[in-house]
Amino acid sequence: MTRSIDIERLADILREAAKVEIMPRFRNLSDVDIREKTSATDLVTEADEAAERFIARECRALAPGALFVGEESVAADPHLLGRLDDADLAIVVDPIDGTANFAAGLPLFAVMAAVVAKGETVGGIIYDPLGDDFMMAEKGGGAFRKTPLGETHPLKVAKPVALADAVGCVSATHFPADQKAALLPRLGTVKIFGNYRCAGHEYRLLASGGAHFSLYSKLMPWDHLAGCLLVAEAGGQVAKADGSSYTPRDRGGSLIAACDSRHWQDVRDGLLPV
């Protein structure tokens, strides 16, 4: 039980939303079902909105007093995001993380939820609808993968390596132009780097030992709260690039998640301009 919210029940809600609202629409969207929000790469689909409505309804039944903050709800009412800062209990949801992939028919998207209690992330879930499995964490309780058959396996980040041998995920889209120009040549010092256009799967990869770091240039709570808790509970290090702790109140700056504190510092020193 995560501060009065049953995380297993919350996971069931995400799974049911995917079954009812998301997967029937995968590779089955018409042009009118896909719209731009702020740009051609910032999309919303009918599946995003329907899934969020489903999750919101079920979450209000699960935890009637909790604040519900969804990506699409905030798009409709930006003031909602500010209420997260003072909420005693909140559920933060990304109904489809990786909407651009989903809209293009690419099988790389996730459903994410985080539980926030008095400004602290205490629970996180990243669900893969295609694999029908969860990665979940509770504050102080470790992180684990739950299979479609209900079996659980603990998650553990990779052992640290030199930056030249590291595998990482980098999202530099929202860095200022000068910072991006300084960063891009430095990425050549990393063995492998990529961008899934889906933070949920990048965090899953990191928490399960398949990558050594992730670097992000935009901080929205539905993109990062669940994944950051997952990585931390799997033994990793997560902090903003200035070294400060990442919290649900943070909206600006950049974020590094890494397999341990030493590797975090190597990423900070090796990739980001001083």
Q: Is 223 assigned a ligand-binding role in the annotation?
A: yes
> Is 4's pLDDT higher than 80?
no
Percent of the chain scoring above 70 in pLDDT: 99
**Nearest Cα to Cα of residue 201 among 104, 94, 59, 98:** 98
As a whole number, mean pLDDT of residues 139-150 equals 97
Q: What is the DSSP letter of 2?
A: B
As a whole number, mean pLDDT of residues 33-45 equals 89
Q: Which residues pair with 168 in a beta bridge?
A: 193, 213
Residue with the larger pLDDT of the pair 41 and 35? 35
Query: At what angle are helices 221-233 and 199-207 packed, to 10 degrees?
Result: 10
> Is 274's pLDDT higher than 70?
no
Q: Is 94 assigned a ligand-binding role in the annotation?
A: yes
Q: Is 77 assigned a ligand-binding role in the annotation?
A: no
> Is 2's pLDDT higher than 70?
no
Q: Is 36 assigned a ligand-binding role in the annotation?
A: no
Exposure class string for 171-209: b at 16+ Cβ within 10 A, else e = bbeebeeebeeebeeeeeebeebeebbbbbbbbbbbbbb
Query: Residues 55, 59, 62, 64: is their CA dihedral positive or negative?
Result: negative
What is the overall mean pLDDT for the chain?
96
Place of tokens 């079902």: 33
Reported as a single tens digit per residue, the pLDDT across 8-32 is 999 999 999 999 999 999 999 999 9
- Within 13 Å, how many C-alpha atoms sit on residue 168's CB side? 31
For residue 204, give the H/E element and its range. Answer: helix 199-207
Q: Is 96 assigned a ligand-binding role in the annotation?
A: yes
> Is 37's pLDDT higher than 90?
no
At residue 32, the pLDDT reads 94
For β-strands 167-171 and 192-194, DSSP reports them as parallel
> Is 1's pLDDT higher than 70?
no
Reported as a single tens digit per residue, the pLDDT across 236-248 is 999 999 999 999 9
For residue 51, give the H/E element and its range. Answer: helix 46-62
At residue 223, the pLDDT reads 98
Rounded to the nearest 10 degrees, how much is the dihedral formed by the CA atoms of 159, 161, 163, 168?
-30
- List, in order, residues 6 or more apart from 79 with CB less than 8 Å away: none
> Is 175's pLDDT higher than 60?
yes
